[in-house]
């Protein structure tokens, strides 16, 4: 627990600064995270007996995220590209879930290389699309606060009082008590964000179905969605690691694991929040 807190204290400030500054600094941070995450996923894919080229996965993920940045110049192209991102990411998630060891043919190697890249790069592309929306910086901060609150509460409460296994096949240490604590914490984080931004005059949570008085309900709904999807992202990465027979996605951060271990709860939330905002009509 102590080492995880120390790692967070080191890693969080650069991310916060990049979100605050935006532009090319934010782009560099996101493509770096996406590239390394895809590289780690590709290496775990190889451990499962599936041909894959980690360096090529790294490159494809970077290009995928960079295209998000380029296409934000056109609203129509941006929204169209978001469907490309979610489609390729969803297909990759399904493939990573059901694939089995296979021969090293050209087609198998190509699919085994592209799917890890699109799993991370496809979802991380939404980090760029989110930041370029009106009040994009605030939206990204809400996502990070809600996700980190969910993760931290699930970890602390799970260790303290957790007794009931929660998907033990995927992650033996996760508990139902921790999962509930994470969900409730994510809801509170979303509600508090609403109150803070509303107090300073930023009406981010505008309405549901055109009714402005439902601002708190909108924030509550967002908290529930983010709290659930962040834990789904965590469990999905646990599935990948379990299939690969590894404890961490890599040893990049020593005993604290790899980049994918740090962003697994965020990747699903990126597209969830993006389309939630579109649904609200913001």
Residue 79 CB neighbour total at 10 angstroms = 13
Kindly report, residue by residue over 14-30, the tens digit of the pLDDT. 888 999 999 999 999 99
pLDDT of residue 82: 93
Kindly report, residue by residue over 178-207, the tens digit of the pLDDT. 999 999 999 999 999 888 888 887 777 765
pLDDT of residue 2: 52
pLDDT of residue 39: 97
pLDDT of residue 158: 87
Worst-scoring range by mean pLDDT, 81-85, 112-116, 201-205?
201-205
- Is the pLDDT at 141 greater than 80? The verdict is yes
- Is the pLDDT at 208 greater than 70? The verdict is no
Torsion angle (degrees, nearest 10) of CA 166, 172, 174, 175: 50
Kindly report, residue by residue over 262-280, the tens digit of the pLDDT. 899 999 999 999 999 888 7
- Is the pLDDT at 1 greater than 60? The verdict is no
Question: Distance of alpha carbon 160 from its chain centroid, rounded?
Answer: 26
Residue 165 DSSP class: B
Worst-scoring range by mean pLDDT, 18-27, 64-73, 75-84?
75-84
| Token reading at 275 | 């389309």
- Is the pLDDT at 216 greater than 90? The verdict is no
- Is the pLDDT at 119 greater than 70? The verdict is yes
Question: Distance of alpha carbon 164 from its chain centroid, rounded?
Answer: 26
Comparing CA positions, the residue from 198, 259, 242, 218 lying closest to residue 36 is 259
6 pLDDT band (50/70/90 cuts)?
A: low
Kindly report, residue by residue over 221-259, the tens digit of the pLDDT. 999 999 999 999 999 999 999 999 898 888 887 767 889
Angle at the Cα of 25 (from 19 to 28), degrees rounded to 5? 105
The model's pTM: 0.91
- Is the pLDDT at 56 greater than 90? The verdict is yes
- Residue 232 in contact with residue 225, Cβ under 8 Å? no
pLDDT of residue 66: 96
Kindly report, residue by residue over 150-174, the tens digit of the pLDDT. 988 998 898 888 888 888 888 888 8
């Amino acid at each position: 627990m102590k080492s995880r807190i120390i790692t967070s204290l080191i890693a969080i400030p650069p991310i916060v600064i990049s979100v605050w500054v935006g532009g090319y600094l934010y782009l560099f941070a996101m493509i770096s995270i996406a590239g390394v995450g895809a590289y780690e996923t590709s290496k775990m894919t190889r451990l499962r007996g599936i041909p894959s080229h980690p360096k090529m996965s790294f490159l494809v993920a970077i290009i995928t995220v960079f295209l998000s940045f380029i296409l934000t110049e056109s609203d129509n192209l941006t929204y169209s590209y978001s469907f490309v991102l979610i489609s390729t990411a969803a297909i990759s998630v399904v493939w990573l879930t059901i694939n089995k060891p296979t021969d090293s043919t050209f087609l198998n190697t190509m699919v085994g290389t592209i799917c890890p890249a699109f799993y991370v790069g496809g979802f991380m592309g939404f980090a760029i699309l989110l930041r370029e929306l009106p009040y994009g910086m605030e939206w990204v901060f809400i996502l990070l606060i809600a996700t980190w609150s969910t993760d931290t509460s699930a970890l602390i409460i799970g260790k303290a009082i957790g007794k009931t296994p929660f998907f033990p096949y995927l992650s033996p240490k996760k508990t139902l008590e921790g999962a509930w604590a994470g969900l409730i914490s994510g809801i509170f984080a979303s509600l508090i964000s609403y109150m803070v931004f509303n107090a300073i005059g930023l009406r981010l949570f505008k309405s549901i179905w055109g009714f402005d008085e439902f601002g708190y309900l909108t924030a509550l709904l967002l908290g529930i969605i983010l709290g659930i999807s962040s834990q789904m992202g965590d469990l999905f990465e646990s599935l990948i690691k379990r299939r690969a027979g590894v404890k961490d996605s890599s040893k990049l951060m020593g005993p604290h694991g790899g980049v994918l271990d740090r962003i697994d709860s965020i990747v699903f939330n990126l597209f969830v929040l993006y389309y939630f905002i579109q649904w609200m009509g913001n």
